[in-house]
Structure 1
Amino acid sequence: MPKYKKGKKQVQEEQDTRQRMSDQKTEMYNSSIRSLIVGGICFVLSLLFNGSLINITPESGTAADVLLILMKSLFIVVFYTFTLIGLANAMELRGKPSALREVFIIGAMAIIQGILSLPVFFVSLIGVILATLYLWGVQVRVERY
């Protein structure tokens, strides 16, 4: 039996705080699921286009060829970014940060998708490196404050 009784107002405030925290965690979990779904959709689209299951062959050296390379690379970079964000958010909700191993595995999955076409591979590699540096920079900046 506690020495001091908590007032009804204080008990209600604690319950409200717990409810808000629970709602916030649920929303964060749903957000990470949505990010993983977007990453999965981009993964499937990337496999369809980069694996030549959907074959679009514009004339060589045209603007359509450049747009096709950019589109294929964009699918790869968006897959990498959203999958990394979704996985990192889910891991953080579980109480442990994502390891470097997961980042390398997702990065390897992203880079391997573009290996059939040299221009797509290099544009994707640059995009994945830039996305990694951006996410690392944002994380460091948030941890400082």
Structure 2
Amino acid sequence: MGRLIVMGGAFGGGNITAAVEFNIWSDPEAARRVLAGSAVPTTLVPLDLTHRILVPLDCLNALARSGPVDSALASLTSPGRAHYRHELGVDALIGHDEVAVAEAIWPGTLDCRSPTVDVECGQGRTCGATIADHRLGGQDQSAGRKIQVAVDLA
């Protein structure tokens, strides 16, 4: 059996509301089926991790000096850099999907924990919130399932 690597969710603050990340917010019911209801081994790569993995300005500048194709590629980063300067106060790019792809290509790239995870599908500002129960005992077994949640680089 294969495995799923999902870039989405947030446990310490979202990018749509204070609690909700965009990918999960886009279809919380589908996210719940995948994260909490599927039997397929799943690794979740949340914003909590990806917001800490930056491509700094000096790397982007070096890319721009590498040749015409690289320069064109680096010029495409301006909107992303402007967004992260405004939202997070950093002049860098964040490779959300790239972190997830790295784990898919090189399993073990990420250090993971195994909480019980569920997705809020109600109404209001928390619809689409990912919920992780890290308690060792006493979990509400009717809600969610244990999955791998990336917390750092290995």
Q: TM-score with structure 1 length normalisation?
A: 0.23
Based on CA coordinates, which of the two structures has the bigger radius of gyration?
A: 1
Point out the structure with the larger helix share: 1
More strand by percentage: 2
Q: Name the TM-score, length of structure 2 as normaliser.
A: 0.22
